[in-house]
């Protein structure tokens, strides 16, 4: 899909924050409230309920991250049902569900969706003029990844 084609009316944005980053997520969402209001929001349980209660945002909530919420959002990304991921994760704390976190980040990268892991990147992403353009996600099963790899090899050889 060409990037000059207008984007759908709103993006589908997944919001996740580890415990030590929940306050950062609330502050970021409040700062960007007018931008977020035009989009469909998804979140893991605690993060989503905080955004609903504190800011009045409508949020579709999944399970808590350690109880499968990260995997639920990852599945939505794989199905092409999430357009952006804001995941404020805490790199300084160990997490028992770390394999789920890595799997979520992996699927987001494989499916070519924008990912922000800190407030600065999230600010750049949500305020980007590209938010109003269409963006093509990759479907690895469709062969796009193989085509991209072949094109990369040609570019490197040339």
Could you list the active site residues?
Answer: 70
Count of beta carbons in the 10 Å neighbourhood of residue 125: 18
Angle between helices 69-78 and 98-110 (to 10 degrees): 10
SS3 6: strand
Q: Which of 115, 114, 112 is nearest to 101 (CA)?
A: 115
Alpha-carbon gap, residue 2 to 87, rounded angstroms: 27
* 3-class DSSP assignment, residue 112: coil
Q: For the sheet containing 115-116, what is the strand order?
A: 59-61, 40-43, 12-17, 84-88, 115-116
């Amino acid at each position: 899909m060409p990037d000059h084609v207008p984007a759908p009316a709103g993006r589908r944005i997944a919001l996740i924050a580890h415990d030590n980053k929940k306050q950062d997520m609330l502050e970021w969402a409040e700062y960007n409230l007018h931008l977020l209001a035009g989009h469909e929001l998804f979140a893991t349980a605690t993060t989503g309920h905080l955004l609903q209660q504190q800011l009045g945002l409508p949020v579709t909530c999944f399970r808590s991250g350690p109880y499968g919420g990260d995997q639920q959002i990852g599945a939505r990304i794989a199905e092409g049902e999430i357009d952006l991921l804001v995941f404020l994760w805490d790199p300084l704390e160990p997490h028992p569900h770390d394999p789920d976190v890595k799997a979520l980040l992996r699927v987001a990268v494989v499916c070519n969706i924008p990912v922000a892991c800190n407030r600065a990147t999230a600010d750049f992403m949500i305020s980007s003029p590209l938010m109003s353009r269409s963006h093509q996600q990759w479907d690895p099963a469709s062969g796009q990844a193989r085509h991209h790899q072949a094109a990369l090899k040609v570019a490197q050889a040339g």
